[in-house]
Amino acid sequence: MTTDKIVAKNLQVAYGPKVIIKTADFAVKQNDIFIIMGGSGSGKSSLLRVLTGLMPPAKGTFWVDGTDYPAADDETKLEIMKKVGILYQSGGLFSSMTLAENVALPLQKYTDYSPATIDELVNLKLALVGLNGYNDYYPAEISGGMKKRAGLARALALDPEIVYFDEPSAGLDPISSTRLDNLMKDINQSLGTTLVVVTHELDSIFAIGTNGIFLDAASKSLTAHGNPHDLLKNPPNETVYNFLTRGKEDEKTA
């Protein structure tokens, strides 16, 4: 039985008077790889900021595991965020800490594991993302793709139920990007983690996405909701079709 992990109702995203998304209603089911797609400036990353609690919604609300997140008190919010991992666009690693220290940080803060257990967990998490043996490296000493994978190791440190990804493929070569996609799928299938991915990379969308929404920059609204493959077969409007086909139809008619 699948249950809803995240439910958004009449969610409006705005920076002061500037509205980015007028209204959005969607549900992310448990074990989904949920893609937030759309063109540049459509509000994908802003929506992610709202969902991760970095900014409040202008209107409406969203529930995480049945809890109204914006209305929750600080303690409840913290408990919810412990179940959430986030991979930022550039990894978000602390430059003054080694990769092992970066991954160990949430474990030291939120668990009472012994140092030996934390070391073993750090070794495992780094190995899971293909960075076995890179414990003593600093972020400045590794490549962009490795930074993202190390960021993912940190995001997975507390065995989160939900992991958010902000443009995971941005700045990666096709091979690294494919590896990261495969890793995300493996994590989703092995741990049953729900993944919410902000991206506009079509290869990634079709390779990993099981559900998703499409944000339209022109109408500032959510114009499609569903599996990306189904959306390609039965596009609800021309914008979605053009996006999912890289505007190839336009080229043919031009």
Partner 1 sequence: MATPDFEIKSSVLTVRLGGNLTHVESPAALFQAAQNLETKKISVLTEGLKAWDSTLVSILFELQNISHARKIGFEAKGLPQGLARLLALAQAVPQHVDKVVVEKEPLLDRLGSWGINLFNIFLKGWHFTAENLAALGRFATGKTAARKVDFLFALEDCGPKALGIVSLISFMVGLILAFVGAIQLKTFGAQVYVASLVTIGMIRIMGAIMAGIIMAGRTGASFAATLGTMQVNEEIDALKTMGVPVSEFLVLPRLAALVIAMPILTMLADFMGMLGGAFVGVLLLDIPAVEYWRYSWQAWGLTNFFVGLFHGFVFGFIISLCGCYYGINSGRNADGVGVATTKAVVAGIVWMIIATGFITFCCERLGI
CB of 74 to partner 1, least distance (A): 25
**Toward partner 1, which CB reaches closer, 186 or 249?**
186
**Toward partner 1, which CB reaches closer, 51 or 86?**
86
Q: What is the 3 state secondary structure string of the chain?
A: CCCEEEEEEEEEEEECCEEEEEEEEEEEECCCEEEEEECCCCCHHHHHHHHCCCCCCCEEEEEECCEECCCCCHHHHHHHHHCEEEECCCCCCCCCCCHHHHHHHHHHHHCCCCHHHHHHHHHHHHHHCCCCCCCCCCHHHCCHHHHHHHHHHHHCCCCCCEEEEECCCCCCCHHHHHHHHHHHHHHHHHHCCEEEEECCCHHHHHHHCCEEEEEECCCCEEEEECCHHHHHHCCCCHHHHHHHCCCHHHHHHC
Residue ranges in contact with partner 1 by CB under 8 A? 94-96, 111, 113-114, 116-117, 119-121, 123-125, 127-128, 130-134, 136-137, 139-141, 156, 159, 183, 186, 189-192
**Toward partner 1, which CB reaches closer, 3 or 132?**
132
CB of 106 to partner 1, least distance (A): 12
**Toward partner 1, which CB reaches closer, 136 or 230?**
136
CB of 142 to partner 1, least distance (A): 10
CB of 148 to partner 1, least distance (A): 15
